[in-house]
Structure 1
Amino acid sequence: MTGISLSKTQIKNKWDILKADWSIWLKLKRRQTGTGWNNATQTIDMEAEWWKKAKKDIPGCAKFRKKPIQNEDLLREMFTNITNDEADHWNPLSDNPIIPNSQEQPFDLDSEYVDGENNAQGDPFDANQEGDEEVQEVTPSAVPNKKPRVAAVDRKKAKSSNALLMVEAILKISDCSISFTAKKKEGITIPEIMEHVKDCGAAYGSDEHDIATQLFVKKEHREIFMTVPTREIRLNWLRKRHFDKYGA
């Protein structure tokens, strides 16, 4: 769809890198407090000591000291529901592993065994619960004083669910790439640029507004105009272009 030919390995590597960067960015923004945000550069503006500690706690975050993450909106759509930044998920390896209410009884479908004790407390693998898959017999452990183990359920359903998640993720990437490519080709539209023209003080009927309607038919002129930093400079730029064409 984008005209770019990539192998499965290249796509996976790119996906993994973007996912890791997104996780780092979320942790950095959650860590940043107070007034340490630069609206101009969209970066975290904190002292060197703060960044020194952040680099130790969040490996790889140094890349975002002087520039923000790219395509933040697209990355949010891709990774929000599948990235664990420890904000609303329980990470047993974290310094403060507090289990949120939404995950009071976490379990891993990919683990080979589940403790019998958990099964007795209403484990989802309990054979007496309605609608559960078939569970093998409980076998006492050969080691003394060990609790019995329960064999894992058939994981075909879990694998099927993972496959569906992968398909949905790939479709999201495709949609995002199409949207990004179309937006990049189109750039800023004429209605959008004319709103900026009025905002800088070029009213309807003025020489500045008139020259803008002529210049901004071309994409390159629209892009140049958007690089001008302030409204006053934009208005002066339009006046000069009108003078260049019509004189005094």
Structure 2
Amino acid sequence: MAAINWNDDNTRIITELFADQAHRGNRPNSHLNNVSYEEISQRFKDKTGIELKKTQIKNKWNKLKNKYGIWKKLLLEQTSAGWEGGTINQDAEWWRKAKVDIPGCGRFQNKGIRNGDNLRLIFEDITNDGHNHWCPTSGDLPQASIVEDVVNLDGEDGIDIDELDESPSNVKGKKERCKVMDLVIECGGAYGTNEHFIGTELFVKREQREMFLHMPTPDIRFEWLKRKYEAKYAR
């Protein structure tokens, strides 16, 4: 079984397919039902040319669920004082404490979670955010770890782009995406809107970021995002 390179595009596509199945009621509990796997495999192959086995789909589901659970525990309810451009803006000491209590959260130190709108639809009601209601802006962490279900998925059949080395070009691209998503919010594309959602899909690609940045006013940018969403998702 060939390994899958879970780059930005492939991960975005699989989260879209997962979200579609969840929206259609094919996730009766914490996992997809059996009828979903064949459809996801076929649709993923249609979009990418890559054929996924059921075990690869399940492994990616579990890994994304794990990441979203960590992100949810990291944020909890109050993040306004430390929230900047889709990332948590805290000092090194805060992150040192966080990494002890929330294993795996270090991947979010320089960037927020990708495909957040889709992951929220898929996993929001089946991930535990803990009952301590820790506020990241308080500077204090709960005494006991609030991560109960972090699983070891080192054996997943694929390479996740989140786990690749931070090369200068990758770091630059991530900073550009954060900048552009700040501008999405500024032009009216708040979190949870269609315009913000389509921005998370478009701006993994440099040419789309450049097009957006070239537009002269916030109103024009917002209208462009609106049309992009309608062109892709309007029925």
Please tell me the TM-score bracket, short chain as reference.
0.3 to 0.5
Query: Which structure is larger by alpha-carbon Rg, 1 or 2?
Result: 1
TM normalised by structure 1 equals 0.37
Higher relative contact order (CA 8 A, sep 6+): 2
Higher helix share: 2
